[in-house]
Amino acid sequence: MPMPPPQPPPLLPLLLLLLFAFLILLLPALSVSATTTSTSNATTTTTTQQFREAPQFYNSPDCPSITPLHHDDVDPDESDDDHMMICSYQAVHVAMTLDTAYIRGSMAAILSVLQHSSCPQNAVFHFVASATANASLLRDTISSSFPYLKFRIYPFDDSNVSGLISISIRSALDCPLNYARSYLADLLPLCVRRVVYLDSDLILVDDIAKLAATPLGPSSVLAAPEYCNANFTTYFTPAFWSNPSLSLTFADRKACYFNTGVMVIDLDRWRGGDYTTKIEEWMELQKRMRIYELGSLPPFLLVFAGNIAPVEHRWNQHGLGGDNFRGLCRDLHPGSVSLLHWSGKGKPWARLEANRPCPLDALWAPYDLLETPFVLDS
């Protein structure tokens, strides 16, 4: 008896199997905006992040109007409004570094600045990114979440500083972009006279215009909260303190520790005093003899400690990321709070992602613009 011809498999189970395989392939590509790349000796791993659009914030009625001011060192191809804002003395100028590794923190910081500002439309952001970064991707990411934001991105040539960097106690501190704050006076247009520098791992809960208006006195180049109770000697090596010529660096000033993640900088005075060169000279000495351990901070202390204008401690509740080794949870310092700063190893977005948040990370979470892969457009 002849065998019956083979029957095709049932159509419905086959379609379900194909649909399942398609979903498995699709899941890794659901978020597609900013790319984060981490590189090891063997492989390069790339992940993607998508951020939602932030609300638009408007000036209060008593905000100062922006006076038109054109300047030769601003790109003439920019729109008239952007050109006018970039050089405006009435604008609040904010400088930050920008890279894909910290983009989630940067987005939260920008939102916090705008949300708590009395004049958010008067804020101008100056972002410094590595010259090798995908500036188009960074620009699109910022513009998608903040389509109304006035900003520029400035390329930073890593080779300017890479030869001066010494290995520190944490690899993240050795990134050339971490030193870009020393070059703001060279990168930003000459018409920008004063800027508030902010790290990416912080949020503001107060009006940034108050911080930007900090008096610098007759001669100070920068202002920052000082912490004179900290043991200042620990920021430098025994080789530094045992060298008579080096230890006399602070002889005529009351030097105190300050955190360089929040600073108000007079760029005119910085340029006039050529302070970038002064910082580089200490970095060159560090290459010859190890006088400090902690990244870009010690050169700032060597040049400015004891000569900065004071800022209330509430403008930098720092250390919320723990120390540079374990990143353990920490409490707030006593007193009022205008700015929370997760300096240290632990970052709130990383701890939230790992489902191991610290209690204070809940204060950062409302500013997180990251969309999860499973959020659908309504």
Q: Predicted confidence band at 258 (pLDDT cuts at 50, 70, 90)?
A: very high
Average pLDDT over residues 150-162: 93
**Which residue has tokens 């100028």?**
93
Higher pLDDT, 78 or 281: 281
Residues 321 and 345 sit within 8 Å (Cβ to Cβ): yes
Checking 62-68 for CB contacts under 8 A at 24+ apart, the result is 62/118, 63/118, 63/119, 63/121, 63/122, 64/90, 64/119, 64/122, 65/90, 66/90, 66/91, 66/122
E-strand stretches of the chain: 34-39, 44-51, 92-97, 123-130, 150-156, 194-198, 202-204, 222-224, 226-227, 257-258, 262-266, 309-310, 339-341, 370-371
Average pLDDT over residues 334-362: 94
> Given a cut of 60, is residue 378 above it in pLDDT?
no
Q: Predicted confidence band at 172 (pLDDT cuts at 50, 70, 90)?
A: low
Q: What is the pLDDT of residue 83?
A: 62
- Determine what percent of the chain is predicted with pLDDT higher than 70: 79
> Given a cut of 70, is residue 293 above it in pLDDT?
yes
Query: pLDDT tens, 224-254?
Result: 999 999 899 999 999 999 999 999 999 999 9
Q: What is the pLDDT of residue 200?
A: 97
Q: What is the pLDDT of residue 69?
A: 62
Q: Predicted confidence band at 171 (pLDDT cuts at 50, 70, 90)?
A: low
Q: What is the mean pLDDT of the chain?
A: 85
Tell which residue, 95, 94, 75, 91, has the closest CA to residue 83: 75
Query: pLDDT tens, 15-52?
Result: 444 444 444 333 333 333 454 444 333 333 344 789 99
Q: What is the pLDDT of residue 334?
A: 87
CA distance linking residue 293 with residue 319, whole number of Å:
18
Q: What is the pLDDT of residue 82?
A: 64
Q: What is the pLDDT of residue 367?
A: 98
Q: What is the pLDDT of residue 163?
A: 85
Query: pLDDT tens, 121-143?
Result: 999 999 999 999 999 999 999 99
Higher pLDDT, 96 or 376: 96
Of 93-107, 165-179, 261-275, give the lowest mean pLDDT range. Answer: 165-179
Average pLDDT over residues 344-368: 94
Query: pLDDT tens, 71-90?
Result: 555 555 555 556 668 889 89
